[in-house]
Amino acid sequence: MLSFYPESQSERENYKLLIGSIIPRPIAFVTTKAVDGTLNGAPFSYFNIVSSNPPMVSLAIQRKNGNMKDTARNITENGEFVIHIVDEQNVDNINKTAATLPSNKSEITIAGLTPIPSERISVPGVQEAKVRFECKLEQIIALDAADGEKGSDLILGKIITYYIDEEIYEDGKINPVKLAAISRLAGSNYAKVGEIFSIERPK
């Protein structure tokens, strides 16, 4: 086995080991609203479940030169956001939202996605997703980088509304084949849901 020490490596070297090892990663497409009303949308693969009681998710957003990205700043300022699950049908359009745009330009418009009002928060979602969650900010933690700057923002969000496409909802569960979620690997590589198998947990 090879041994590597994070403090002896660059940020980029650590990044490559992490994203190449921790796979596949679910992808959250997150919509937020800026103070000027601009609807922002961006995909993030540092995303997962935190708790089901209460239902909460985590989202880590890397900073650039110590500065918050639009998504983190918008969540900090208004405390609301919508998380969408990226799937085979919407991945091409959502990939377009990863482009760097000025804060007052909407990635939703550029990508040809369709805004849809939320019920319990002010931030719209997008119609093209089979699953979306209305979220309220529970906590945000600024994480220190090795150089002393703030390196990323860890966001904990409480889900207050689920939207699930009726085509994928079966007996209280979500059909993973019909959802057809896309996951992130390393570089420009992504993965579809592959062969599914079951192992019974010990009692």
Rounded Cα gap, residues 180 and 87, in angstroms: 5
**Contacts (Cβ under 8 Å, ≥6 apart) of 201:** none
Three-class SS of 10-61:
CHHHHHHHHHHHCCCEECEEEEEECCCCCEEEEEECCEEEEEECCEEEEEEE
Q: What pLDDT sits at residue 2?
A: 95
- Asked whether the beta carbons of 24 and 183 are under 8 A apart, the reply is yes
Give the separation between CA 138 and CA 155, rounded to whole angstroms. Answer: 8
pLDDT of residue 103: 81
Cβ contacts of residue 182 below 8 Å, gap of 6+?
27, 86, 87, 88, 91, 190, 191, 192
Judge whether 12 and 4 are in contact, CB under 8 Å: no
Letter for the amino acid at 113? L
The confidence score (pLDDT) of residue 100 equals: 83
Query: What's the confidence (pLDDT) of residue 115?
Result: 97
Q: What is the spatial distance between Cα 101 and Cα 200, in angstroms, rounded to a whole number?
A: 47
Residues of the chain with pLDDT below 50 are none
The one-letter amino acid code at 149 reads: E
- Residues 6+ positions from 28 with CB-CB distance below 8 Å: 43, 44, 45, 47, 57, 59, 83, 84, 85, 86
Tell me the pTM: 0.94
pLDDT tens, residue by residue, 92-129: 999 999 988 888 888 999 899 999 999 999 999 999 99
